[in-house]
Each structure stands twice: as structure tokens, then as C-alpha cells.
């Protein structure tokens, strides 16, 4: 049995769409941090001896900095005060899902034509709304006993089949615009390693390690995906 088509930025059509994700990105501005390579979990005495500098930008971003000029690399990370504790029934898993989506591109990285890309996303959502309406009608027919399985392809209406075909055409067009894994490639070409992220109950962290003379690249790429993440990816 084939699963129903769902929008790429909606769970079950219940409104957990891109607009619901944007406040999460705003929360990411609360606590960026940066620390040099090799700084990890330490006992209390050792941690107390680490000369941590703390400063805050005008936009509220708070930084933690440890200078180690003898090293040629720098480990950098930013943390957002958001995680699974911010979820509710109906959108469980969204925090971790959003973590992964932050690697899928921005208005600059990962696309050949952002204007058309964003248009396609809007068109996809419009088609998906019509598909959801058709599926609601299929479930109504199922409750009335008119069909035995609302998701059986044999019971699809001509309208539903046409909408699914239209959506697939949009998917194929968008694939032609995507530059797969471009964020990772830009970092790798700049000498970066360890590009990763993780999500916990109340925080999400994005980490990387780069040559010390490539720190500006990290600032540019991370601010780009904080400010201009491609909606709907």
C-alpha cells in the first residue's frame, strides 16, 4: 500500500509548515558560541582555569571565546535554545528534522536559481493543499463504506492522480536547480572538517572545525544559513 503524498514542509497537513519553523531560526540567535579546537568536556578545576572571554553583539548574539594562538585550527559552534522540549503532540521530531534541513541550502548556497526555487516551493504547497483536500474526501468515502482503503491507488480519483503527477513534475524541476551538498563542499574546499550538528531536549548545536585563517568563512556561511535558509527545505 502506497503512503499518501505529504508536503516536504508539513507533517500531516496540520500546519507545521515553514512558517512554523521560522521562530526556531529566530531562537538560534540567542546563543551562538565559538571555541578553539580541542576544547571539550573538562572537570571543574580545569574548566575554571580556562580563560574564557564572553561578549555580546548588538543583536543579542552571545559569544564564548578561548584564545589558543599556538593552534592552527579553530573549532567553532553555535547553539540554539530549542529542542524536543519545545515540541507538542502532532509535531514531535520537528526539532531534529529542522536540524537536518539547515544543511539543505540557503538563498546563496545549494541552488542555481533561488527565485524559481522559491516559486516552486509555493507551487508545491498549493498543489499539496489540493492533494490534502482530495485525501480528506477519500477518508470520508472510506468512513461511509464506499471504498475499503482510502490510500489504495486503485481508489484514486482522476483529480488526485492529476495532482500527484503535477506535484512530481515540480519535484523534478526543482531537482534540476539543486546543488547537492554545496555547503559541505564549500567548507571542505576551505579546509573545514567535522561539519555536524546534534539536537537534545532543550538545545541544538551546529559544529565545525577549520584552519584558523578560514574563520571568516565560518562566520559568513553560518550567518547565511541563519538568515537565508531556503524556506521549505
Measure CA of the first residue to CA of the last residue in the chain; give whole Å: 26
**How many residues comprise the chain?**
233
Domain extents in the chain: 16-108+181-233, 111-178
Question: Residue 14: its pLDDT value, please?
Answer: 34
pLDDT per residue as tens digits for the range 178-224: 999 999 999 999 999 999 999 999 999 999 999 999 999 999 999 99
Angle at alpha carbon of residue 138, lines to 132 and 141, rounded to 5°: 150
Residue 138, SS3 per DSSP: helix
Output DSSP code: residue 41: -
Question: Exposure of 153 by Cβ count < 10 A (0-12 exposed, 13-18 middle, 19+ buried)?
Answer: exposed
pLDDT per residue as tens digits for the range 20-47: 333 232 222 333 444 444 445 556 666 6
Q: Give the span between the Cα atoms of 175 and 158, in whole angstroms.
A: 26
Which triple of cell numbers denotes residue 144?
A: 461511509
pLDDT per residue as tens digits for the range 89-98: 999 999 999 9
Find all residues with CB under 8 Å of 180, minimum gap 6, and list them.
110
Q: Give the span between the Cα atoms of 15 and 113, in whole angstroms.
A: 27
> Within 13 Å of residue 35, how many CA atoms lie on the same side as its CB?
16
Q: Give the span between the Cα atoms of 48 and 28, in whole angstroms.
A: 27
Q: Give the span between the Cα atoms of 170 and 178, in whole angstroms.
A: 13
pLDDT per residue as tens digits for the range 124-164: 999 999 999 999 999 999 999 999 999 999 999 999 999 99
Work out the pLDDT band at 15, boundaries 50, 70, 90: very low
Q: For the chain, percent helix, then strand, then coil, each to nearest 5? A: 45, 15, 40
CATH number of this structure's domain 16-108+181-233:
3.30.830.10
Which triple of cell numbers denotes residue 159?
A: 483529480
Which triple of cell numbers denotes residue 96?
A: 531534529
Output DSSP code: residue 185: H
- Per the rule left: phi > 0, alpha: psi between -120 and 50, beta: everything else, 60 is left
Amino acid at each position: 500500500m502506497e503512503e499518501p503524498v505529504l508536503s516536504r514542509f508539513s507533517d500531516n497537513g496540520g500546519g507545521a509548515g515553514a512558517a512554523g519553523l521560522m521562530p526556531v531560526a529566530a531562537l538560534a540567535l540567542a546563543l551562538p558560541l565559538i571555541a578553539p579546537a580541542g576544547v571539550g568536556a573538562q572537570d571543574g578545576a580545569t574548566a575554571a582555569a580556562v580563560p574564557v572571554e564572553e561578549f555580546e553583539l548588538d543583536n543579542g548574539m552571545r559569544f564564548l571565546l578561548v584564545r589558543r594562538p599556538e593552534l592552527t585550527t579553530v573549532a567553532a559552534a553555535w547553539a540554539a535554545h530549542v529542542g524536543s522540549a519545545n515540541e507538542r503532540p502532532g509535531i514531535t521530531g520537528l526539532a531534529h528534522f529542522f536540524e537536518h534541513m539547515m544543511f539543505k541550502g540557503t538563498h546563496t548556497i545549494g541552488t542555481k536559481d533561488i527565485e524559481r526555487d522559491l516559486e516552486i516551493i509555493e507551487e508545491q504547497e498549493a498543489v499539496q493543499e489540493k492533494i490534502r483536500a482530495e485525501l480528506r474526501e477519500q477518508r470520508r468515502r472510506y468512513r461511509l463504506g464506499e471504498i475499503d482503503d482510502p490510500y489504495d491507488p486503485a481508489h484514486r480519483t482522476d483529480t488526485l492522480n492529476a495532482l500527484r503527477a503535477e506535484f512530481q513534475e515540480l519535484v523534478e524541476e526543482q531537482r534540476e536547480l539543486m546543488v547537492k551538498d554545496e555547503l559541505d563542499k564549500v567548507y571542505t574546499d576551505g579546509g573545514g572538517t567535522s561539519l555536524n550538528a546534534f539536537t537534545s531536549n532543550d538545545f541544538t548545536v551546529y559544529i565545525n572545525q577549520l584552519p584558523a585563517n578560514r574563520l571568516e568563512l565560518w562566520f559568513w556561511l553560518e550567518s547565511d544559513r541563519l538568515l537565508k535558509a531556503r524556506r521549505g527545505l
